[in-house]
Structure 1
Amino acid sequence: MSRTERTTARAESAQQRDRFPDLLRSLALGAVILGHWTMAAVSVQNGELHVDNVLNTNRFLWPLTWVLVLIPLFFFVGGFSNATSLTRALGRGDSPAKWLAKRLKALIVPVLPFLVVVVGLVLLALQLGAPRTLTLTVGIVVLMPLWFVAVYSVLAAITVPMLGLHRRYGIRVVVGLAVLACVVDAARTILDEPYIGYANYVLVHGTAQQLGFFYWDGRLGRVSHRALWAWSLGALALLCAVVATPIWSESMVGLSGERSNMSPPSIPTLLHTLFLIPLAILARPWVARWMDRLRPARILDVAARYSMRAFLWHLPVAVVVYGLVFALSGPLPTPGTGAWWLSRPLMLAILAMVLVGWLRLGDWLGGRRTRRP
């Protein structure tokens, strides 16, 4: 049996009824939703709606971004999903081009109604006399999650060659991508040119995808717990050392007056990725039995089916809810105050109910169940 056949056989054995990737995908996207909704600092100033991030005024909360920003796990699972989908398609006799066309269609089709609704609402708001600057800013913020889809699409497009490199060179590909990402970020820092850093959208998140290939073929699951702990804690130590310098921010999300670690991805983003992935693998045995129970399995199946759509629509839902509260002269406590924090659970519950209702309405209008990419 060739090396490729052995790798594929290990992968097929490892992926039997494995809901762990579904759990990680749902947690990663769910954490983004929770973070955006929790940190949205919406207030009324001089009779107008003002939108900010509460972290800009409460910067001591930056450690929350290390917990709530689980984006690396999304792209890690993307590696597993792309490799699994590709090998199954090839096994059915599909060509790589046909597989990629289907993959991209599954990613892009759910985005189209999202774009139509958001752009339509922005144009309507402008026609009705809404403040132009605020409306356009909100529109841009609402559309920002599309970068996930764009990067995921690029990573899907390079899955065939990258999976081939994985089979041939293994961990050396991960090291090479990580080193290139560091070089790109260093060049961006030295030259003070942010556009150079855009390559790291592929290099940093591609590193996560490449590690997902190791989960796909089962090799990551055979790494000892001691090695995983050393890997994770080593990355954490380096992350702490890096953000202690004046070059990078402690926060994993961009804040006013600071260089963003995520846009484009930086060395801290890479280290955060290398910190989170081994922790996820360490957690797997603890949740494996729970995931296989009937009720949790059903919950995971539903969460995985809706996670991407929920991610796309969570910001438009927030805009509509806060807009209605403002229009009805409802309470909008000053962000960061005790009253504001006490209002978070109720606001989160309202946002969640509206989002669920919108997704169910989408199912009813579409007349079919949503397919996962």
Structure 2
Amino acid sequence: MASLLALAHRIDGATPPDRDRALDGLRALAIAGVVLGHWLVTALVVTGHTVRAGSPLRAVPELAPVSWVFQTLAVFFLVGGLVNARRTGPYGAWVKARLTRLVRPVGALAAVWAVAAGAMFVSGAELETVRTLGKLVVSPLWFLLVFALLTAATPLVSRLHPVWPLAAVASADLVRYGLGGPSWLGWANVVAGWLVPYCLGLAWGRRGLPRGSTGWALLAGGGLAALGLVVWGGYPAAMVGVPGAPVSNLDPPTLAAVAFGLAQCGAAALLAGPLRRLLARPAAWAAVAVVNLSAMTVFLWHQTAMIAVTLAGLRLGGHLPGLHTVPDGLGWVAARLAWLPVFAAVLALCCLLFRVYERSPAQGPGRRMERR
């Protein structure tokens, strides 16, 4: 215990005094939301020798409000905008450093999974099984692609008011849902939808996070708008994708998802002050700092950790509750909760093995806490 406290104090002392710890705290909360959300709503159902994806949200739609807690992607884009608004130095060097931090960890993941997919085929795994597992690993990468695009476009969108991409999302949804227009129009929302919190972060990064009324207005207004769109507008109640559902709020983002994202931005603004005070404590800050130093690794490898535990369970006999069984009720949810510590332990091992790819080659140990 004494050694852990000493380590926490060393991390605290190595942190630049002008670093806004609230941003790291918000990023850590967003990461935790995404990871726990995926682990709770993604099921790998084993039927014979085939693994298929499922979701408890399909069997128990009453659990949809849970997805509102764990769908935290808007906070990622908000924090990204807040950080990128403070960029310094030549644009070329800056954007290269930012994008390198995204590309290197993805390369490591792709290499490992290329070998894993080949090994599964050689061992006789069915094509559907390999496709299911591969899709779980690859599907979160869309977020990084959009984030990289918005990061590269920062100088172009730095003065763009969030109301314009919000209007674009509303127009696309009106045409495709209200007027019977082509569904492909929704793919414009992949950029426009996440541009809303990103532009909000850029604006707040220049002026400082708002306090009081603005945060409450976004939280209440965005939340009520999202709720109204679900109740009266016909949008899905789940803020995550549900296998087999005709409409998804995320694939591509809908107006309901963007309104919900604005509510999250309001909540983030309100949480910033309390987070700064909490993270002034060395122990709390050390935990958040460790998560942020491995943020990309956690995001990229959390599905692999779940898959690894699931496949290992098959070797031990298979069809374990909450791991291989159909997510058909609250019993499955209770069993899945018991597996979360095992997923977390395997994810920690992945971080130990692959976090090195998250650091740029020129970054030495003494500079780690300077990263945003």
TM-score, length basis structure 2: 0.85
- Could you tell me how far apart the structure 2 residues matched to 1:287 and 1:81 are? 17
- Answer with 180-189 or 53-62: which moved more: 180-189
Choose which of 334, 352, 355 in structure 2 pairs with 1:360: 352
Counterpart of 1:61?
63
Counterpart of 2:187?
198
Matched, 1:312 2:300: yes
Report if the CA contact (8 A) 2:56-2:329 is conserved: no
- Could you tell me how far apart the structure 2 residues matched to 1:161 and 1:50 are? 42
Aligned CA distance change for structure 1 residues 341 and 232 (closer, same or farther; 3 Å)? closer
In the alignment, residue 65 of structure 2 is paired with which amino acid?
A: P
Counterpart of 2:114?
119
In the alignment, residue 350 of structure 1 is paired with which amino acid?
A: V
Counterpart of 1:75?
77
Deviations 1:88-133 (A, max 9, x none): 22xxxxx212322222112111110101111221122122210111
Report if the CA contact (8 A) 1:184-1:200 is conserved: yes
Matched, 1:218 2:207: yes
Aligned CA distance change for structure 1 residues 176 and 302 (closer, same or farther; 3 Å)? same
- Answer with 251-260 or 54-63: which moved more: 251-260
In the alignment, residue 196 of structure 1 is paired with which amino acid?
A: L
Deviations 1:228-266 (A, max 9, x none): 323321222221111113642111112223301111111
Report if the CA contact (8 A) 2:294-2:355 is conserved: no
Counterpart of 1:157?
152
- Answer with 151-160 or 284-293: which moved more: 284-293
Choose which of 38, 43, 47 in structure 2 pairs with 1:36: 38
Report if the CA contact (8 A) 1:25-1:304 is conserved: yes
Aligned-pair distance for 1:145?
0.9
Matched, 1:146 2:141: yes
Aligned CA distance change for structure 1 residues 338 and 191 (closer, same or farther; 3 Å)? closer
In the alignment, residue 355 of structure 1 is paired with which amino acid?
A: L
Aligned CA distance change for structure 1 residues 355 and 272 (closer, same or farther; 3 Å)? same
Report if the CA contact (8 A) 2:60-2:329 is conserved: no
**Unaligned residue ranges in structure 2 (runs of 5+):** 1-16
Counterpart of 2:104?
109
Choose which of 279, 288, 292 in structure 2 pairs with 1:291: 279
Report if the CA contact (8 A) 2:67-2:240 is conserved: yes
Counterpart of 2:217?
230
Aligned-pair distance for 1:363?
4.6
SS of structure 2 residue aligned to 1:51: strand
- Could you tell me how far apart the structure 1 residues matched to 2:300 and 2:181 are? 32
Counterpart of 1:11?
none
- Could you tell me how far apart the structure 2 residues matched to 1:183 and 1:110 are? 36
Aligned-pair RMSD on alpha carbons? 2.3
In the alignment, residue 341 of structure 1 is paired with which amino acid?
A: V
Matched, 1:278 2:273: no
Aligned-pair distance for 1:63?
0.3
SS of structure 2 residue aligned to 1:109: helix
Report if the CA contact (8 A) 2:51-2:132 is conserved: no
**Unaligned residue ranges in structure 1 (runs of 5+):** 1-14, 90-94, 167-172
In the alignment, residue 344 of structure 1 is paired with which amino acid?
A: R
Aligned CA distance change for structure 1 residues 341 and 178 (closer, same or farther; 3 Å)? closer
- Answer with 273-282 or 225-234: which moved more: 225-234
Aligned-pair distance for 1:158?
0.8
SS of structure 1 residue aligned to 2:247: coil
Choose which of 251, 255, 266 in structure 1 pairs with 2:254: 266
TM-score, length basis structure 1: 0.85
In the alignment, residue 128 of structure 1 is paired with which amino acid?
A: S
SS of structure 2 residue aligned to 1:42: strand
Q: Highest relative contact order (Cα 8 Å, sep 6+), 1 or 2?
A: 2
Aligned CA distance change for structure 1 residues 200 and 26 (closer, same or farther; 3 Å)? same
Choose which of 223, 226, 239 in structure 1 pairs with 2:226: 239
Matched, 1:130 2:132: no
Matched, 1:301 2:289: yes
- Could you tell me how far apart the structure 1 residues matched to 2:136 and 2:208 are? 39
Identity value in percent? 27
Aligned CA distance change for structure 1 residues 176 and 339 (closer, same or farther; 3 Å)? closer
Aligned length: 343
Counterpart of 1:10?
none
- Answer with 37-46 or 67-76: which moved more: 37-46
Deviations 1:335-360 (A, max 9, x none): 34454333233311111011101211
